[in-house]
Structure 1
Amino acid sequence: MKIRSITFKPPEPKLKVIKSVTVYLSEKHSEIIIAPISKEPKAGYHYEQKDCEVIELNSSMEIIGKAIKRNFDKFNIEEKKTGMGNKSDWPAFKASKEKSMRRFEEKYRRISIRGLTDRNNTLRIETVLNLPIEIDLTSTISAHCEPSELGNRILKMFRSEITERK
């Protein structure tokens, strides 16, 4: 009896991707801009995709959570031929109602949402540039949570106030 040789070929490694989305909230304009993110595969940097979703700040928690999950799932890996570009080229800035980047950064509060691991089962939500106190808040939540829970968490972080004791 002859035994055939078995050749073992290890499986190809899957590309491990940590997804992300950026959310900009403005009380002045009463809107939320949700910017899906892309990753440049060769240089490794992240950038906002051209199409941002704009919703009302007073939308229900359910609508906010669904919009964030929908845009989180739009994450992709795509070559960008033009490089990083200027801040004034950011799609979120263009979708805003501000005329200068300085005013945009003053009037819109940025919250970053990223997967904690390449499985993207847990989301890390963090405030970015929480000026003038310079303390950033971070929270985690399951990616499988109800959309209303995610919307509620985002708004809680947006409305949180950290003040200095004197």
Structure 2
Amino acid sequence: MKIRSISFTPPEPKLKVIKSVTVYISEKHSEIIVAPISKEPKDSYHYEQEKCEVIDLKSSLKTIGETIKRNFNKFNIKEKKDGMGKISDWSALKASREKSGRRFLEKYSRFYITGITDKNNSLRIESVKNLPIQIELTSTISAHCEPSELGNRILKMFRSDIVERK
């Protein structure tokens, strides 16, 4: 009796993705800009997608949290034809009320929200480049929290942010 050889092909590994979103908050303009992120598959850099959501800073905590979660889930992997670009190419700058990148960075506080692992069950919220003090804040929260809890956390970080506001 002859035994046939069985060829075994291991399954392709599932692509592990750590999602992210960037949130810009301006007290001067009383608005929040939520920019969903894409990842370039070949060069592995991240960039803002073309469409950002702009909501009022006085929106309910639930609305803020829902907007952040919705845009967090828009994360995708997509090839970008024209490279990383300059700040003038940022979708959030185009959605803002500022004309220059320098003024945009002065008037908007930036928060980067990312999954801690590829399961994206926990979120890390980080303040980015808090000038002139340069103290950055970090917090973690469950991705399964109520939207109002996420909205509350981001606003608490914004209000406790140690920056010079004009």
Q: TM-score range by the shorter chain?
A: over 0.9
Please give the alpha-carbon distance, in whole angstroms, between the structure 2 residues aligned to 1:130 and 1:72. Answer: 22
RMSD over aligned Cα atoms: 1.5
Contact 2:114–2:125 at 8 Å: present in 1 too?
Answer: yes
SS at match of 1:21: strand
Match of 1:32 in 2: 32
Question: C-alpha displacement at 1:9, in angstroms?
Answer: 2.7
Matches within 5 A, 1:94-109: 94-109=94-109
* Structure 1 pair 33–161 and aligned structure 2 pair: CA distance change class (3 A): closer
Question: C-alpha displacement at 1:5, in angstroms?
Answer: 5.4
SS at match of 1:136: coil
Contact 2:137–2:161 at 8 Å: present in 1 too?
Answer: no
Please give the alpha-carbon distance, in whole angstroms, between the structure 2 residues aligned to 1:135 and 1:105. Answer: 16
Q: How many residues align?
A: 163
Contact 2:33–2:52 at 8 Å: present in 1 too?
Answer: yes
Q: TM-score scaled to structure 2, two decimals?
A: 0.93
Question: C-alpha displacement at 1:132, in angstroms?
Answer: 1.5
Match of 1:93 in 2: 93
Match of 2:17 in 1: 17
SS at match of 1:22: strand
CA offsets 1:47-93 (integer angstroms, 9 cap, x no match): 00000000000000000000000000000000011111111110000
Please give the alpha-carbon distance, in whole angstroms, between the structure 2 residues aligned to 1:18 and 1:120. Answer: 6
**Which stretches in structure 1 are left out of the alignment for 5+ residues?**
none
Please give the alpha-carbon distance, in whole angstroms, between the structure 1 residues aligned to 2:62 and 2:97. Answer: 25
Please give the alpha-carbon distance, in whole angstroms, between the structure 2 residues aligned to 1:162 and 1:20. Answer: 24
Please give the alpha-carbon distance, in whole angstroms, between the structure 1 residues aligned to 2:130 and 2:138. Answer: 11
Question: C-alpha displacement at 1:130, in angstroms?
Answer: 1.1
SS at match of 1:139: strand
Match of 1:53 in 2: 53
Match of 2:113 in 1: 113
Please give the alpha-carbon distance, in whole angstroms, between the structure 2 residues aligned to 1:134 and 1:49. Answer: 27
Identical pairs, percent: 77
